[in-house]
Amino acid sequence: MKYEDIIRNPEILEYYRRGNENLGALGYTDHSVAHTHLVAGKSAEIMLAFGYASDEAELARIAGFLHDIGNAINRNHHAEYGALLANEILKDTDMSIQDRVRVVSAIANHDESNGVVADPIAAALIIADKTDVRRSRVRAKDPILFDIHDRVNYAVTETRLICDPDQKKITLYLTIDENICTMYEYFDIFLGRMTMCSHAARIFGAKFSLNVNGQKVL
């Protein structure tokens, strides 16, 4: 099973089309394949940076792309729904049972409300997903209608995720326009996610840090 096959699968693409439409109706930021492509790429990069083999990175890439398909069912418990959907899709591929279970488990545990960081694939997916904060995730609407999630994402003008295996550090660098979003608002939304990233980084023997506008804040 190749990543290229996953991203062209019409069933998966339809789940994402519907899921993103559902979340748009709820007022959520973008959760389309633009988000999942980015998460997939970052997941693989994290694995490779910390010395994992290319086949392990490929599993993280696949988990990253599939992680949000459960939004087509419901936002609540979307991680668990997504794992069940992914399992059915991957059953029809040549992926081994062991690899399929690892991918499905990572998807099921990526949500900060009840997820568990159990292995490197899950850890890479969690860090990649939770650090995808950017202005382009905000859907086109009148800024007066922005909720706190919109403001936080729209305020971020630059994002960089840097893995430094030598220093055993994973750092998220953000540039935030504090005229749009205060740091209090950022942490109100993202503290749980950043805490989960910290737990995930430990799987790699690393420490997770957050740097905002040139200042270390976590």
Q: What is the pLDDT of residue 7?
A: 95
Phi, psi of 163 (to 5 degrees): -100, 130
The 10 Å Cβ neighbour count of residue 134 is 19
pLDDT digits (tens, 9 = 90+) for 129-164: 999 999 999 998 888 889 989 999 999 999 999 999
Contact 199, 85 (CB under 8 A): no
The whole-angstrom distance between residue 86's C-alpha and the CA centroid of its chain comes to 16
Contact 40, 62 (CB under 8 A): yes
Q: What is the pLDDT of residue 70?
A: 98
Q: What is the pLDDT of residue 2?
A: 85
* CATH number for the domain running over 3-216: 1.10.3210
**pTM score of the predicted model:** 0.96
188 or 38: which carries more pLDDT confidence? Answer: 38
Using DSSP bridges, classify how beta strands 207-212 and 169-176 pair: parallel, antiparallel or unpaired: parallel
Q: What is the pLDDT of residue 105?
A: 98
Q: What is the pLDDT of residue 141?
A: 84
5 confidence band (pLDDT: 50, 70, 90):
very high
Q: Half-sphere exposure of residue 81, counting CA atoms within 13 Å on the CB side?
A: 13
Domain positions in the chain are: 3-216
Listed range (25-29, 45-49, 64-68, 159-163) with the worst mean pLDDT: 25-29
